[in-house]
Chains A and B, each alone.
Chain A
Amino acid sequence: MKRIKYYIAVLVTGTLLLSSCSESFFDINVSPNNPAVVTPSLVLPSAISGSAYVMGGYYQALGGFWSQQYGQSSGASQWAEWESYNLDESDFDRQFFTMYEGSLFDYEYVRNSAKSSQNWSIYSIATVMQAYSFQVLADLYDKIPFTEALKGTANLQPHYNDGTLVYDSLLTRIDNAMSKDFSVSTSVSPGTSDVVFGGKMDDWRKFANTLKLKIYLRYVNVDANKYKTQIQALLTENNFLDKDAKFSSFKGEQTNANPFYNTFGDRLTGNVVANSTLMSFLDNNTDPRKSKLFKAASKDASYTSIATGDSKNHPTLTIANYATPTLLSDPVAPVYFFSKEEVLFLIAEAQERYGTTAAAKTAYDAAISASLVSLGLPANAKTYPYNGIQSIIEQKWVAATNKRSLESFFDYNRTGYPNFFTKSITSIFAGNEKPRRLFFPSSERKSNANTPAKVALTEKVWWGKAVIW
């Protein structure tokens, strides 16, 4: 009854309003459900978690399969096409568009909003994290929209930029962000909205240096001396990350867990197991990390692994017969942007190439120790001989398992190491060829006329090593 009275009231008011032809009568088209403006500190976590969600989920899985840490289990076939390299443009399309319209544009929102209020700390965090994310996409796709991207309807058909241009621009942006004065009164500490470092700008300075070093080292095949001075200056300054840069705000819930655990383990169960390439390496070296990186087979407690593309050849086996990544058992495992050991491996490589071998070896040993410690093993539980770049990248590859698998894929394409990857049994490529990039995504193909022509997966990206196999 109350409602009917309400209606009568609305009706009477409505008619009255109408007779006065009030414009505001129609001004009810602003959504009451969603805000039009939000402070940057409420958007920054979304941007960072967006990067973590894609990189710690599908990109982690892709990196794991393509750098032969993970394999497709028998008894299921969800990722069999990744192992046969039989992709099309719709594969990883969702990751591409969620990065651009999600994470990258949220960083952009934070940057624009923080810039206008001169809130430099949050501006710089967003700029550096956006640069980090752009680089991953540039490395996967070779060319990405950059200078014309993220402009809304102002540019509905963004052109693609070469990776080199993206790289140069990112370096400029990082330097610019870090040159800001975080002590001005308009610069407010982001606090917990910085879900990586809790607003500690010193840590972000280290992150920025580390990211720059990672970017510089991509040039080794194309213009090795282009940033030699800058690399040496960074090594001298030696202000790199000395801890993990990670996103760990997960809960052990179905709507809120580590994306790799959630999608690849809990939802699409029965698919991801240990790859023989990595398992053999660990076995041959009696590496104690084996039982930390992989969980023994549930059926017989063995560390059975599978070679890339071998899944259909064992009709009687299922995931219960194989060792599985421990990442599949931890719903709140963090997603790493850099791990402590990865930074040390980067330093080792930079020292080897642009500094001293002695310093390189020191960093290399420290990196292996850091990897052991991070897995709950004693720092000296295992040592490996130092053998220059090859040993650095091999060890980086082992340490990257479950953490930074996509970086192993990039390292392989950049250095050709580890040089013992097997040929996928189901590979659709000739000889020992392997994928070196992704296809330009189908959503772009359909909606952006400036999407470049299709390029074969076996074509290296601009910084890739010319000949690997």
Chain B
Amino acid sequence: MRKLTFLLTCLFLVSVSLVNAQSKSISGKVFSADDGQPIIGATVKVKNTGAGVITNADGEFRINLSANEKTLVISYVGMKTAEIEAKNNVTIKLESDSKLIDEVVVTAIGIKRSTKALGYSATQVTSADITATGNRSAFNALQGKVAGVEISSASGSPGSSTRVIMRGFSSLGGSNQPLYIIDGVPVSNGQIGSTSINGGMDFGNRANDINPEDIESMTILKGGSATALYGSRAASGVILITTKNGAKSGNKAKVEVSSTTTFEAPLRLPYLQNEFGQGWYDRGGGVADLQENGSWGPRFDGKLRKWGFVVDNQQQVKPYVAQPSNIKDFFDTGRTTNNSIAISNGDENKSYYLSYGNINADGIMPTNADSYIRNNLSLRGSTKFLKIFTASASLNYIRKDTKFVPTGQDQAVLDGLWQSARDISIVDQKDYMNKFNNTDNYFTVFAQNPYFVLNEHGNKFIENRTFGNVNLEAKVLPWLTAQFKVGGDVSNSSLKTWRAIIKGNRAAYNDEKGQVSEDSYYSSELNTDFTLLINKDFSEDFTFNAVLGHNFNQRDTRSQGASVIGLDIPNYYNLSNSSATPSVYANTSQRRLVGVYGSVDFGYKNLLFLNLSARNDWSSTLPVNNRSFFYPSISGSFVFTELLDNKDVLSFGKIRAGVAQTGKDADPYQVYSVLTKTAHDDGYRPLQYPLAGSINGFSVASTIGNDKLRPEKSRDIEIGLDLKFFKNRLGLDVAVYNKTITDLIWTATIPSTTGYRFQTQNLGKISNKGIEINLNVVPVKTKSFEWEVFANFTKNKNLLVSLTEGLDQVSLGGTSSIGFVGRPGKELGLFEGIVPATDPNGNVIVNAQGLPTFKDTKEIIGSSQNKFRIGGGTSLSYKGFKLRASFDYRNGGQMYSRTSEIAYFTGNAQQTTFNDRQPFIIPNSVQAVVDVNGVTHYPENTVAIAGFSNTMNLYYNQSYNAGIGGAYALIDKTFFKLREVSLSYSLPKSLLARTFINSVDIALVGNNLLLWTPNSNLFVDPEMTTFGNDMAADFGDYGATPSTRSFGFNVKLGF
């Protein structure tokens, strides 16, 4: 910390001395001629010298001149550049320039380029898009706002992961997440957690660590042409984040404060039946059974009945009625505060920026077992020195303290909720030490009191992360800039988890011996880029830019942990508290990547642009002979409106096209075979080494090395059209792409009879074809009122084109009952499950009990992939008021839902009240009868499934799956969400004129206010997942904490 202070002092000193060196100055103010508002960030330059400043938040500037300098040039994007005589207190009005739409975006390697010159789609997102509702995650805030980017939040647990997928899946094995680049340096998007169905955890992905208030802008690069310079790691797109700096504050220290408080409630809880109460079908036919975990008992009659166990000769009594809100009542109101403060100052020559952010969230679960505290500290500064040099540095420190309520089926809170009966009040069992509610006497022996689980089991995750960069730039020649940038990102995390001892005296189903585990994780990334930037225009008509670069990247990980099962002292969670041999592990990994890249841009008269680029990578993770791989790309654009004279209707038009290749390496350690410390596992309880008698053992690993591994290669073709009408009042951008990935690297399952089960192979080919449409309309624009509407449409068609011979499918995850697979000729992410056996006419064949029969082999029962997505929103501003809203609609696809599955099982699902639970014959069912000649006949079935009986049980549980097989656990993923609504009001400047406050913005904010799903999903928010934040996440949800809707308010102050 002392060093930090020192660095800060240095920056101050530099600023002060530079300011003092300048003596003579004039000031002025820049306004927009259109609406009379001050223009922030307009460039004011002294003509012919290039020295310049930027206007501050009030449109004011102060600039230094020498005596012979008489003219100022004032420019701003979208405005006509003005030249004025330099005199003090000058007022300049800039007029909008609809002809010149020269938006500048940050592109690969941090090069700023005019959008018109781009041969690919690059979406720029501004700070306002990200921070309007005070979302803790800059990416959650983008949901529905960008075409071609699917953003999903894993659950309602505070701090949970966000998944970002661009243009479909392009890899099986590696990450499908974009590469996150902050100020030119790649940063970690690692995620610590577990996707186990027996206690899953999600402590968030690291891209979400960044304080949204620190972000100036983001550029989203989706296609290969846009990302080729970033090489291997950018195969799934790039998100370039530019952070705020002090350069625009015009030498006036700027303080920005933002404070948001929101309150959260579950967005979707399952709609359950309220007709039948506690009982189980095979336990005496519709008679209440007081120890059951489901609602297969009699119909509610309102009479007083005993419930629960007899304890000390006492038993509780309650009316036999439904508790329609028993699940809802369990949850608390979540609360999140998000506060940040930033101080900045500087000008074009030097700047600093200092910010602190704090998020404190306690989720919707009672207690603080789901909580997230994040502290962000950022410091950035830059200065020019010795005429040609610019040095800049950035340091960010993040501390996270997270507690997560485990998902899954084993001692999980939600599992306890779902396995309750409809007449039982859960909240009344909050006192889990009470003799009727404790682990001995909790009303059902088949599940655990969720309050016990919340309070007695637990986990605690802590992460300390530091990332930043140092950048040195030299303007060697007027046309040549050399740049050296070093970036680092280091995270140290620790996770402690524990489970209390449980010894129930009625049944052993929920017994626990007590366990504790301690894990620690380290990950680091070191990145250097050396680049030469050439900017030499041959003539007025011909422009030329080039980049040559060298990149080095090294990533290290280390993880180690220990756990013991079987604690001696109750409630004391330390590894020493056990006589059992601890299970321990330690793993490290290291990978290196070196790249050399180059890119040239030609421009002709703002009309034609051409880019050629190429990169060669050397990766340590590939076999020696396949280590080096080269990939080129080409793209161009044609601004055809430059040929038009009249641009009143069509103000701007551009056609762009690009073809690019990208390569991608493998994960480390896939090339050679190894042995591993022995552990045998049957899926329930392992046998781990060392054995009794201090016998250690190693076993040949189940994965065989592959010394012929090649890099994955993707080829990407993109064509786009960018049109703007009526002086930018209507904008349309269309992109069509076809991305093909060959030599997919993935773990193939090989027959165990070879002695191995897996091998990492180059085993197939994927394609993604899609279209993205962005539409922007400003239907009304007057001096005080503006209405803007935007919408985007995305359709991506993913296809697993082929697999190597002998492979019929690849497994992508799933559970033992529902597989998650890829099959050639179909999209990735298919569900595989059992299907009913049918006669040649498609009628279900039932058995002697009238229950359906199933085919021997599992079949594809659904797909996880959306058919299309539409996002959009609107903003209305009137004087200081602004109303913003955005929505997100996703159509098609299915997901696995544990909630659905268990609601059928427990008889809590509305579907289980079919036919009032009276006997019924499966519609159109047949029996299969084999005659004496061995010919099978299919007479109509007349055997009904008995009501309140064992067969009803079997019909709805995992044996017969409500008659439809595996598909019963799948739900439709279609949804519509009202993502963000904010109503803000900016206090008029006039009101603040005499105060030290510059700006005051207050807002009412809401996130995920509405969710609509089709009738086939009565259970969960289909965006949720417990399977990480990559492809496997599409499998679905195994009991995640429900997602939330949030309301709150936000105050932003500027000083």
Contact = CB atoms under 8 A, between A and B. Distances in A.
B266 to A, nearest CB: 33
A94 B702 CA distance: 13
A43 B697 contact: yes
Contacts of B554: 10, 14
A269 B565 CA distance: 17
Interface string A247-271: 0111101111101001100111110
Nearest to B621: A29
Contacts of A34: 674-676, 701
A96 interface: yes
B675 A256 contact: no
Contacts of B622: 29
A57 B566 contact: no
A50 to B, nearest CB: 6
A263 B689 contact: no
Contacts of B749: 443, 446-447
A462 to B, nearest CB: 19
In the A-B complex, the 7 residue pairs with the smallest Cβ-Cβ separation, listed nearest first, are A97-B752, A105-B755, A448-B751, A34-B674, A46-B697, A249-B691, A46-B678
B198 to A, nearest CB: 11
Contacts of A31: 668-669, 672, 674
B685 A10 contact: no
B623 to A, nearest CB: 8
Most buried by A among B619, B671, B674: B674
A469 interface: no
Contacts of A267: 684-685
Contact of B754 (A37, A88, A155, A269): A155
A409 to B, nearest CB: 19
A217 B175 CA distance: 56
B700 interface: yes
12 contacts: A18-B594, A29-B620, A45-B697, A98-B680, A101-B752, A106-B699, A151-B755, A153-B704, A158-B754, A251-B580, A255-B580, A266-B685
A444 B590 CA distance: 35
Given A57-B682, A153-B704, 17 more contacts: A3-B490, A14-B552, A14-B592, A18-B594, A27-B620, A29-B668, A33-B669, A49-B687, A54-B682, A89-B857, A101-B757, A153-B750, A156-B754, A157-B751, A157-B806, A251-B581, A447-B750
B676 A263 contact: no
A interface bracket (residues with beta carbon within 8 Å of B) = 35 or more
Interface residues of B, number: 86
Nearest to B510: A269
Contacts of B704: 152-153
A449 B691 contact: no
A446 B808 contact: yes
B669 to A, nearest CB: 4
B488 interface: yes
A26 B698 contact: no
A7 interface: yes
Contact of A35 (B590, B669, B675, B685): B675
Contacts of A49: 678, 680, 687, 691, 697
A373 B288 CA distance: 50
Interface string B683-726: 11111110111011111111010000000000000000000000
A268 B684 contact: yes
Interface string B577-594: 000110100111111101
A376 interface: no
A90 B816 contact: yes
Contacts of B686: 255
A27 B566 CA distance: 43
A158 B753 contact: yes
B698 A150 contact: no
B627 interface: yes
A151 B688 CA distance: 26
B917 interface: no
Contacts of B588: 32-33
A133 B926 CA distance: 45
A100 interface: yes
A269 B508 contact: yes
A446 B808 CA distance: 7
Interface in A17-46: 18, 23, 25-38, 42-46
Nearest to A19: B550
B757 to A, nearest CB: 5
A329 interface: no
Contacts of A443: 749, 751-752, 757
Interface string B798-837: 0000000011110000001000000000000000000000
A193 interface: yes
Given A50-B680, A152-B755, A42 B696 contact: yes
A42 B507 contact: no
B520 to A, nearest CB: 15
Contacts of B675: 34-38, 43, 109
A77 B1029 CA distance: 35
A96 B752 contact: yes
Contact of B695 (A36, A106, A192): A192
A10 B699 contact: no
Interface in B406-452: none
Interface in A179-233: 192-193, 195
A100 B672 contact: no
Contacts of A447: 749-751, 806-807
A193 to B, nearest CB: 7
Contacts of A315: 282-284
Interface of B: 3, 282-284, 486, 488, 490, 507-509, 511, 513, 526, 528, 550, 552, 554, 565-566, 580-581, 583, 586-592, 594, 618-622, 624, 627, 668-669, 671-676, 678, 680-689, 691-693, 695-702, 704, 749-757, 759, 806-809, 816, 856-857, 950
A41 to B, nearest CB: 10
A102 B490 CA distance: 38
Most buried by A among B511, B619, B681, B699: B699
Given A46-B698, A152-B704, A254-B685, A88 B856 contact: yes
A22 to B, nearest CB: 11
Contacts of A326: none
Contacts of A53: 680, 682, 687
A350 interface: no
Given A31-B674, A43-B700, A102 B680 contact: yes
Contacts of B687: 49, 53, 250, 255-257, 259, 262
B699 A46 contact: yes
A468 interface: no
A62 interface: no
Nearest to A57: B682
B692 A250 contact: yes
B619 A26 contact: yes
Nearest to A444: B751
B680 A150 contact: no
B486 A11 contact: yes
Contacts of B695: 45, 192-193, 195, 249
B304 to A, nearest CB: 24
A254 B693 contact: no
Given A43-B699, A447-B749, A29 B672 contact: yes
Contacts of B526: 7, 10-11, 14
Nearest to A1: B3
A341 interface: no
Nearest to B526: A7
Contacts of B754: 100-101, 149-153, 155-156, 158
A145 interface: yes
A43 B698 contact: yes
A306 B668 CA distance: 54
Nearest to A56: B687
A312 interface: yes
A43 B682 CA distance: 20
A256 B282 contact: no
B698 A42 contact: yes
Contacts of A46: 678, 689, 697-699
